[in-house]
Each structure stands twice: as C-alpha cells, then as structure tokens.
Amino acid sequence: MLQGRLVRLRAPTRDDLPRLCEFNNDLEVELAGGGDPPQPQALERLRAEFDQRVSSGGREGASFVIETDGRCIGQCALFNVNATAQTCELGITIGDKAYWGRGYGRESVTLLVDYAFRHHHMHKVWLRVHAANARARRAYAACGFQEEGRLRAHVWSDGRYDDLVIMGLLAEEWQQRHTAPA
C-alpha cells in the first residue's frame, strides 16, 4: 500500500503470523521494542488474536507489515488516535535483526508519518522510546521527531530502570521538511 525505496508497508495477513511470532519470541527484539515484559507467545494465540480482530472489523488506528523483497521483516502502526486533537502514537519493530541499522526503520517511519499527515490529516504524531534505545532515537530524530519530555526511571527493562522518552513531530514541522524552497 505504501511504497518506499527499500520497503513496502502493507496490511498484515494470516500468512505473516509465523514470521511475526518468531520476532515476538526473540528476547532482544522484544526488549528493544519496550512495552510489556517479554512473554513467550504461541502461534495459536497470535492466530486467535488476529482472527478476532478481523471478525470484529475493528478499524482503530492502522497496522502495517514492513516488507522488503517480498519478505516480512517487521511491523509498524499508528494507534491511540485522538480524533479531537488529531494526534496518534507511532510504533515500529523491525523483527529481523539482519535489517537493523540499514535505513529500513527510517524509511518505514517516514512512510508511516507521511501517511498520518497526508491521509488522516493528523496534527501530531508522537511516540515513546526507552532512553537506552539509541538506535531507535537516532532513527526517529533523523525523521524529524523531537524529544518533548522524559519520565525519569519510569520503565523496568532487562533488570534495570530506564527513562521513558516522549518524542513528537508536528504536521507543520513535517511540511517544512518536505517543502522544497521556492
């Protein structure tokens, strides 16, 4: 659906689930991604959740698989949509570690943010990231996200506390970055 130079963002299908399950059971990927403490995840559970979402027809937010060369390498999404303020949260995981640090995340975030502003008329896209996740923070900053705040020693991850950093990008900042000078 959204085509970049390196990646294509498209709807997740049931066929993606074994690959996504692999990623969800990779401790390093899970710890980097933040959120709830890592838990073993059965493919059956992932299938049941997928089927439930499809049958309930829920359309809150937008979820994409990140594909390159016909292969699913991760997923990304817009969620926590606030229809009044026109804000949404962004999340991304490249689960295939062979693709870390090679620009795939940056391009996926760029496509997703462009989608949020262009097609959903969002005012702001924001995200949460662990302070220790230098790779993610650098990729987000390269896309124009700014640090807006920090909750000190707020998350417990891998046996220690870490700060939770909030980053945000406003529509006008995005437009300025993508409008060629006259």
Ligand X SMILES: CC(C)(COP(=O)(O)OP(=O)(O)OC[C@H]1O[C@@H](n2cnc3c(N)ncnc32)[C@H](O)[C@@H]1OP(=O)(O)O)[C@@H](O)C(=O)NCCC(=O)NCCS
Tell the smallest beta-carbon distance from residue 166 to ligand X (Å): 11
Parallel/antiparallel/unpaired status of strands 87-94 and 124-130: parallel
Which span (5-13, 81-89, 136-144, 148-156) binds ligand X, by CB under 6 A? 136-144
Binder among 7, 20, 24, 33 for ligand X (CB under 6 A)? 33
CB closer to ligand X out of 121 and 160: 160
Distance between CA atoms of residues 163 and 150, nearest Å: 6
DSSP label at residue 108: H
Distance between CA atoms of residues 6 and 69, nearest Å: 8
Residue type, 147: E
Rule CB under 6 A: is residue 71 a binding residue for ligand X? no
Tell the smallest beta-carbon distance from residue 74 to ligand X (Å): 6
Element containing residue 147 per DSSP (H, E): strand 146-157
Residues that bind ligand X (CB under 6 A): 29, 32-34, 74, 92-94, 100-106, 129, 133-136, 138-139, 142
